[in-house]
């Protein structure tokens, strides 16, 4: 049942044709919330990579002992523990950032990507493969987050990572920041555009 796994593919496929956000359409909520600026998007991506990776590892190691009837409860407990750990570490070592991300780190618990990967992969694969799969999916999620954060901060605030990018002379000649980019709907529209581009280039992704 557990054949040889292609680790490279586990990392690369979530970036493209199995991307959790654009193809599986999971984890949209936090993608809207933390991508107003690039920096929180980066830290959020990193946190999700850590959580998905290690929770996959743990769940997969436990998979033969987990009673199926209560597996969701067990999965939730493991994820919650990891998320709280990440939150505590952020508060201790990256205090400013943990304040910026506020509730959204805690909300990784409810991120569908994590549970989705348990059900689809970690419950029936070896720990190491599950770890790689989790990290890969974290990357896939983080990639979209960073793209969204980049465009939203650039057009919404004229900055990148908090540094002014749009020159002052533009503002003087009538350029204005687009307020729509700061609001959550723009993240959905941007994600929609990414999905559109991706599917027009790879027609096998189009559902009929």
Partner 1 sequence: MKKNFSNRYIFIYITVLVIVIALVLSLAATLLQQRQDDNRKIEKMQSILRSAGIESSVENAMLLYQKYVTEELYDEHPVYVTQIDNGRIYIFPLRGKGLWGPVWGFIALKEDMNTVVGITLDHKGETPGLGAQITTAEFQNQFRGKKIFDDRGNFVSITLVKGGAGNFSGNRKHAVDAISGGTLTSNGVTEMLFSNLLMYEPFMKERLDRLAAPDTVTKQDTAEEVTPAYRQYRSDTVDKPQTPSAFITDTPKKSVRQQSVPEQEQQQQTSPVSAADTFQKMPEQPVPQQQSNDSQQSDPEKQDVYLDTAAEVSETGDTGQTTSKKENSRKRRSNKKQVQADEE
Q: Could you list the residues that contact partner 1 (CB under 8 A)?
A: 36-37, 40, 63-70, 73-74, 77-78, 80-81, 84-85, 87-89, 91-93, 95, 99-100, 102-103, 124, 156-157, 179, 182
- Reduced to 3 states (helix: H, G, I; strand: E, B; else coil), residue 160 is strand
Question: Which runs of consecutive H residues, i.e. helices, occur in 109-157?
Answer: 112-120, 127-157
**Whether 133 contacts 117, CB under 8 Å:** yes
**Cβ nearer to partner 1, comparing 25 with 81:** 81
Q: How far is the CB of 2 from partner 1 (least distance, A)?
A: 10
For the record, the structure tokens of 7 come out as 């680790």
For the record, the structure tokens of 146 come out as 């960073």
**Cβ nearer to partner 1, comparing 41 with 135:** 41
Distance CA 10, CA 83 (A): 23
Q: How many CB atoms lie within 10 A of CB 73?
A: 11
Q: How far is the CB of 47 from partner 1 (least distance, A)?
A: 15
Beta bridge partners of 159: 164
Q: How far is the CB of 179 from partner 1 (least distance, A)?
A: 7
Q: How far is the CB of 67 from partner 1 (least distance, A)?
A: 4
**Cβ nearer to partner 1, comparing 93 with 201:** 93
**Whether 136 contacts 15, CB under 8 Å:** yes
**Cβ nearer to partner 1, comparing 6 with 102:** 102
Q: How far is the CB of 84 from partner 1 (least distance, A)?
A: 6
Q: Which helix (H) or strand (E) holds 82?
A: helix 71-93
**Whether 181 contacts 37, CB under 8 Å:** no
**Cβ nearer to partner 1, comparing 124 with 193:** 124
């Amino acid at each position: 049942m557990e054949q040889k796994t292609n680790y490279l593919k586990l990392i690369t496929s979530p970036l493209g044709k199995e991307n959790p956000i654009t193809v599986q359409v999971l984890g949209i909520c936090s993608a809207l919330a933390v991508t107003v600026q690039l920096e929180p998007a980066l830290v959020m991506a990193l946190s999700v990579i850590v959580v998905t990776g290690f929770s996959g590892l743990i769940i997969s190691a436990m998979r033969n002992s987990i009673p199926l009837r209560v597996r969701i409860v067990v999965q939730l407990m493991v994820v919650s523990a990891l998320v709280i750990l990440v939150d505590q570490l952020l508060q201790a070592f990256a205090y400013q950032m943990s304040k910026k991300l506020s509730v959204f780190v805690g909300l990784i618990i409810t991120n569908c990507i994590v549970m989705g990967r348990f059900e689809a992969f970690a419950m029936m694969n070896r720990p190491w493969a599950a770890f790689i799969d989790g990290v890969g999916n974290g990357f896939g999620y983080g990639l979209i987050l960073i793209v969204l954060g980049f465009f939203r901060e650039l057009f919404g605030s004229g900055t990148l990572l908090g540094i002014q990018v749009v020159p002052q002379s533009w503002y003087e000649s009538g350029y204005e920041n687009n307020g729509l980019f700061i609001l959550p709907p723009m993240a959905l529209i941007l994600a929609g555009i990414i999905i559109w581009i991706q599917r027009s280039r790879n027609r096998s992704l189009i559902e009929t």
